[in-house]
A and B are shown apart, each in its own frame.
Chain A
Amino acid sequence: GDSVTQMEGPVTLSEEAFLTINCTYTATGYPSLFWYVQYPGEGLQLLLKATKADDKGSNKGFEATYRKETTSFHLEKGSVQVSDSAVYFCALSVSGGGNKLTFGTGTQLKVEL
């Protein structure tokens, strides 16, 4: 079946540090890949997506590149801010699957001054 594995948290960084959250996947078909974010007290929001191999999704300074050869979609940001503190979920959707999402377990990020 389809599955997503992401690094466990919590990840604690100082402001302006470099962020990487690893994500790998297995899929029965050709997936689209996503990062969702859940800020404290808020609902899930789409952060970025990539729908085919080698695509780079980007938003709010975050980036992730769809690497088919390593089945990965690692999230990166060059300089995190306190306001980036949230839980980040990697997810996939397989073509022909009605767009239902398969999520990883989430990684909590804490950014401190």
Chain B
Amino acid sequence: GAGVSQTPSNKVTEKGKYVELRCDPISGHTALYWYRQSLGQGPEFLIYFQGTGAADDSGLPNDRFFAVRPEGSVSTLKIQRTERGDSAVYLCASSLTWVGTGGYNEQFFGPGTRLTVL
């Protein structure tokens, strides 16, 4: 079946503009994660959804970043007043429901959206 898809694959914007990045998870996956990968670094956690609600948004760097998942499937990461430091690859991953302590469901990653802020 289809994997996680992300659109656009590339986004170039100017400093101060607003951007939206979209993630389509694997069908039936209730957990959805956003990560950010800067050049030469590993992915860093931003936010995690279980269904429609944000279960953990502790990784969002500031209030310019916001994410939604209104119907428990597609998610949109929104960045206001973009800054050059926001330039990175934004990764989305999805998995089956978290099974609790001691369990793990594999996260499947999308190809990412490369955001460049000029």
Contact = CB atoms under 8 A, between A and B. Distances in A.
Given A46-B107, A95-B102, A99-B104, A104 B42 contact: yes
Interface SS, A side: loop
Given A49-B104, A51-B104, A99 B98 contact: yes
B25 interface: no
Give chain A's interface residue range (CB within 8 Å of chain B): 20 to 34
Interface in A56-113: 89, 91, 93, 95-106
Interface string B92-118: 010100100110111101111000000
B48 interface: yes
A44 interface: yes
B107 A99 contact: yes
B50 interface: yes
B33 interface: yes
Interface of B: 3-4, 31, 33, 35, 40-45, 48, 50, 55-56, 59, 91, 93, 95, 98, 101-102, 104-107, 109-112
